[in-house]
A and B are shown apart, each in its own frame.
Chain A
Amino acid sequence: MPMKLLKTETEKELVVKRILHTKNYSLTLDKTLCTGCEICKEICPKEAIEIKTFPKVAGEKLKHPIIDVDEQKCHFCGICSSLCPFGALKVRVDGEHVIPVVKTESFPELIREIDVDTAKCDVQCVECEKACPLELIKVSVRTPDGKEIMDTESIQDKEKLTVIVDVKKELCPCCRVCELKCPYDAIHVKKIFHGTIRINQEKCPSGCQDCLDVCPITGALYLSEDGKVYVNELYCIYCGVCKIVCPEEGALELQRTYIRHTPVHSGAWNKALEKLTSTKELTKELQTKGLTKVRESVGKRLGFGGS
């Protein structure tokens, strides 16, 4: 059978496939998770990903962009999948979920550090569950014999109950909203992406709140009384979808400076890091790692430093 490169799309999913006689590969985009933030597009080494934006409809909230994958260009390396903060992309080889580049340590994974000390939790508290903008947290309460209790009010011996906070970690972009909302200091989240975001109010046209419309994290951007949008850096995950939709050149500035990731030795990562942050941040990381050889080769390519 000749090789087939296919693409199918439904309301919820976009799937590209490469089917060989003896092996098949697929990349699935869960459209319900994708925010259209462009991180995957930036780092795809084969430029297989494009962003589709939607036009604004008067009187409606602006729809966030969505990505499209070119089945002719995708080589199923899994780079997009390993770096998607929302876990929206999955590569499968012969039906099994793998990330080829992670398997060979050719690319890092994001580090999602979410610590919950349920000992501190109040059995009746569901603040984090309520706070999570992506609805990734499920709080449950169990008896010592593992029975789930729906109605905690009626239970006498509250000390014996355990609280379980179940976070869908692989889909979590680590916005820290839960941490900041937790009344008992029971949950600690470290951000994946660090950076800066700024809205130049003089350039920002009043009445436009496109960025706010598309921001996946409630509270990271907010509308102030003056009718303008302001930033709450505490919550921002630096995904950058706001920057894509912002209609005013220079009104919104976003710069990533650091990404928490598992350690690797990889040219592909250096390139990705450079694209997502900046050449400066890349050299910083290389210096701390002391990777002279890689630095040289990157330097040669970029025309700086090196030997």
Chain B
Amino acid sequence: MSEEPRIGVFVCHCGLNIAGVIDVEELTEYARTLPNVVCAIRNRYTCADPGQEEIRKAIKEHKLNRVVVAACSPRMHEPTFRRCVAEAGLNPYLFEMANIREFSSWCHPSTPKEATEKAKDIVKMAVAKVRLFRPLKSMEVPVTNKALIIGGGIAGISTALDLADMGFKVYLVERSESIGGHMAQLDKTFPTLDCSICIEGPKMVDVSRHPNIEIISYANVLSVQGFVGNFRVKIRKNPRYIIAENCTGCGECRDVCPIEIPNEWDMNMGVRKAISVPFDQAVPLVYTINMDYCIECYKCVDACGARQAINFDQKPEEIELEVGTIVTATGFDIYVPDDNSLYGYGRYDNVITALELERLILAAGPTGGKVVRASDGKKPKVVIFIQCVGSRDVNKYEYCSGFCCMYSLKHSIQLKEKYKDAVEVYILYMDMRTHFKGYEEFYRRARELGVNFIRGRAVHILENPETKNLTVRAEDMALGEPIELEAELVVLATAAIPTKGTDEMARILSVTRGADGFFMESHPKLKPIDTAVDGVFLAGACQGLKDIPYSVSQGSGAASRAATILSKPTWKIEPIIAMVDPDKCRNTRVKCGICARKCPYGAIKAPEGEPAEVTTAMCHGCGTCVAECPSDAITQMHFTDAQIFAQIRAALEENPEDKILGFLCNWCSYAGADLAGTSRFEYPPNLRAVRVMCSGRVDRDFVMEALRLGAGMVLVAACHLPYDCHYISGNEAMKVRMEALARMLEKLGLSPERFRVEYVSAAEGVKFADLNKEMAEQMKSLGKGKIKAENEKLRPMLEKMLSRKKA
């Protein structure tokens, strides 16, 4: 290092968020005493303009060449402060954050002294690390200015049209025969009651006519490789047995086809032909033969005649696309409650789901718009809607599905307006959720039309075997007593759930999912459209349930997020990549190539007899290779061994036996810990956390060093196996490595509970807090004496093994 580090530490009060618990004055004083710190300054809000200005000023005044901000999570404001120091002429990678809010003040509010001590360690660790930082240059990669949108519901349609209008080439991949999604299944839409397909249909047609949009329907995304600006996507087009270019959509084949099949689009309530389109407005208007049902009579071939659009020999076709960004808009499915014996769905003919009612009430539906019972084809005189079937149910789906209150109101209004006094309507609900514009007014309209609202949960439905009428037993919360209602038709507002294949899609895209199973956004408030993967965005119900206006807005939002990348010729990616020191690499001497085998991205080549080499544009910076390399020949920029060792040593300088040294992966566990903080889950303050991008980076040496220094416990926390890892399989490599290490340490006399590998997702704040409580508890019951004794026993062996690491 050419120049002596001159470090400035900026302690943020965050109003009272930090200063309310931590003694910020003491902390600032303490920071001043740390090596190479030339100034330490407090600020009410460091991220606000005056706070940033102070940093810039101090850099000039004190000739700072390193900056530490002790404030919130780097997942929140690292980019902000990097920009700030860059504006003052500093290399942005000479900056480090000390997360004293999510990791201290927010999770230890009732022990301010300990919280302050922990904050001191956190700052000390940051200072120790920042001293060793080197200036880095971010890398630029070229951007392919085309977008892929997965899912052609209203959200995906909105994204596609916006991006195409901006002039970008868009591929819209839809797995069904037609785009349109759920909106194309609906009759009318709340709160204005306009006809759904009448407003969506023209948009669907716009998509098909847009010169910049290519619809790839009846297709599945098989794999995605590459990185922001440069994704390579494999897609399988499934055979329709129709040559799309030749099909005119006339439907003559359908008329002659003998085979009627249940129409999934109609929730299997009506039928379509083995050769058909799911609904008349389908886009693209290309027929499909369902081979599961077709008997190959070839009547359709005759009917199609000279157009020759039918080809029974069609095979699945694989294509490859290159795109710069990907927007996922895969929507939702509804929960089909045939496992719910209380409500008798599937057993009682006259219990249906709301989506089924939607098809019944639709003029183009299987009954021509007549709401009739399956048991006798008669119009029901009393209809009861039951809300929250599966939703808001801790035994099923804990969350609120968001739009069910509104659609049940819609259905009840439609019934009342259609059949007037000939139908009596009841809604059994837990809470009526009618926020957003025009929704509360819609609720009033239903009341005025005479819909009966009963607050309470239905507990049981019984069928009269003769009349097929239904007795609904419920708890009336207003009266506080059980009631019984007799219905001719019961409609269940069933939960909306992640669409089939969401898990697979998450794996293909390396995007994480929340506890509810929907895709996880990068930040719940400030980055609701981004995912943790650069260049991959979310739109519509796949990110969390939302109605049409909200899905459309998010679709447009995703278009603009995607355009921030597509509109640039190149994109900067973080230079936190791995580099091989060819002199140290042993592949020149022996056949090694471990790094090449372990890299989840195939970014390393290790030809026999030559040193391994990293293809920088392909390296995602997980650091797995670094931890795996047996001769320490690989370095990860910004997360070097020396830097992490410095953090470990700083953390364990005092009272190491009382501390849990934790290695947390950035995307899941660190985010989970952040969530524990933001949720204000309190847990004991023993943890000292080292953030790594991926748990795959956690070297055996880190664990051994922590124990050598006397750590009470060591924790390695990662994304859940098998698919949650942000770097495909870094956690897998870590697991193998750590299991072997644990066996060895145990043999050397370490109590097994002192070294733990855990899996915490970004959504598991509770789990993270509980884990800390449990570990602190175990540490207490082991006792300091025992821990010290074990450490004494371990130390000689560990020292021997770490001798090459002596700094």
Contacts and interface: CB of A to CB of B under 8 A. Distances in A.
A294 B271 CA distance: 29
Given A2-B345, A101-B258, A268 B297 contact: yes
A294 B299 CA distance: 11
A265 B258 contact: no
A269 B297 contact: yes
A154 interface: no
A104 B338 CA distance: 36
Contacts of A45: 295-296
A104 B269 contact: no
B297 A20 contact: no
A18 interface: yes
B260 interface: yes
Contacts of A76: 260
B380 interface: no
A267 interface: yes
B295 A20 contact: no
B545 interface: no
Contacts of B260: 23, 25, 76, 93, 100
A20 B270 contact: yes
A75 to B, nearest CB: 5
B257 A104 contact: yes
Interface residues of A, number: 36
B302, B350, B367: most-surrounded residue (chain A CB, <10 A): B302
Contacts of A104: 256-258, 297, 299
Nearest to B312: A297
Contacts of B642: none
Given A1-B374, A3-B268, A20-B262, A297 B298 contact: yes
A101 B360 contact: no
Contact of B350 (A1, A2, A46, A106): A1
Nearest to A1: B374
Nearest to A44: B295
A267 B312 CA distance: 11
A178 interface: no
Contact of A20 (B269, B313, B338): B269
Given A2-B346, A21-B366, A104-B257, A267 B352 contact: no
Interface in A263-307: 265-269, 271, 293-294, 297, 300
Contacts of B349: 1
A1 B295 contact: no
A22 B262 contact: no
A246 B67 CA distance: 92
Contacts of B262: 3, 18, 20
Given A106-B297, A268-B295, A75 B271 contact: no
B338 A2 contact: yes
Interface in A30-47: 45-46
A77 interface: yes
Contacts of B298: 265-268, 294, 297
Interface string B335-370: 010100000011001111000100010000011000
B603 interface: no
Contacts of A265: 298-299, 302
Contacts of B336: 2
A238 to B, nearest CB: 24
Interface in A1-35: 1-4, 18-23, 25
Nearest to A107: B297
A93 B220 CA distance: 36
A231 B262 CA distance: 47
B298, B338, B367, B372: most-surrounded residue (chain A CB, <10 A): B298
Interface in A227-271: 265-269, 271
B338 A267 contact: no
Interface string B199-241: 0000000000000000000000000000000000000000000
B301 to A, nearest CB: 8
B259 A2 contact: no
B617 interface: no
B260 to A, nearest CB: 7
A103 interface: yes
B293 interface: yes
Contacts, number: 105
B296 A267 contact: yes
Interface in B279-315: 293, 295-299, 301-302, 312-313
A106 B268 contact: no
A107 B65 CA distance: 86
Nearest to B352: A1
Contact of B270 (A23, A78, A100): A23
A105 B302 CA distance: 12
Interface in A92-114: 93, 100-101, 103-107
Nearest to B255: A104
B57 to A, nearest CB: 69
Interface string B250-284: 00000011111110000111110000000000000
Contacts of A23: 260, 270-271, 366
B258, B301, B351, B360: most-surrounded residue (chain A CB, <10 A): B258
A106 B258 contact: yes
Contacts of B271: 20, 22-23
Contact of A22 (B261, B293, B367): B367
Given A1-B349, A1-B352, A75-B259, A21 B299 contact: no
A239 to B, nearest CB: 23
A268 B274 CA distance: 14
A192 interface: no
A89 interface: no
A20 B271 CA distance: 8
Contacts of A18: 262
A19 B347 CA distance: 12
Nearest to A93: B260
Contacts of A21: 268-270, 352, 356, 360, 366-367, 374
A63 B323 CA distance: 67
A18 B261 CA distance: 10
Given A20-B270, A21-B269, A268-B297, A100 B258 contact: yes
Contacts of B352: 1, 21
Given A1-B374, A268-B297, A271-B296, A77 B270 contact: no
Given A18-B262, A20-B268, A21-B270, A106 B295 contact: yes
A187 interface: no
Contacts of B350: 1
A79 interface: yes
A3 B336 CA distance: 12
Contacts of A20: 262, 268-271, 366
Nearest to B365: A22
B362 to A, nearest CB: 12
A26 to B, nearest CB: 13
A1 B351 CA distance: 6
Contacts of A106: 256-258, 295, 297, 299
A23 to B, nearest CB: 6
A254 to B, nearest CB: 26
Nearest to B337: A2
Contact of B258 (A4, A22, A77, A300): A77
A34 to B, nearest CB: 22
Contacts of A297: 298, 301, 312
13 contacts: A1-B351, A1-B356, A3-B269, A4-B346, A19-B374, A20-B271, A21-B366, A46-B293, A104-B256, A104-B299, A106-B257, A106-B295, A300-B313
The 9 A-B pairs of least Cβ separation, nearest first, read A267-B298, A21-B269, A106-B297, A1-B374, A268-B297, A3-B268, A104-B258, A45-B295, A106-B258
Interface of B: 256-262, 267-271, 293, 295-299, 301-302, 312-313, 336, 338, 345-346, 349-352, 356, 360, 366-367, 372, 374
Given A22-B366, A106-B257, A267-B298, 16 more contacts: A1-B374, A2-B345, A18-B262, A20-B262, A21-B367, A23-B271, A75-B259, A104-B257, A104-B258, A104-B299, A105-B299, A265-B299, A266-B297, A268-B295, A294-B298, A297-B312
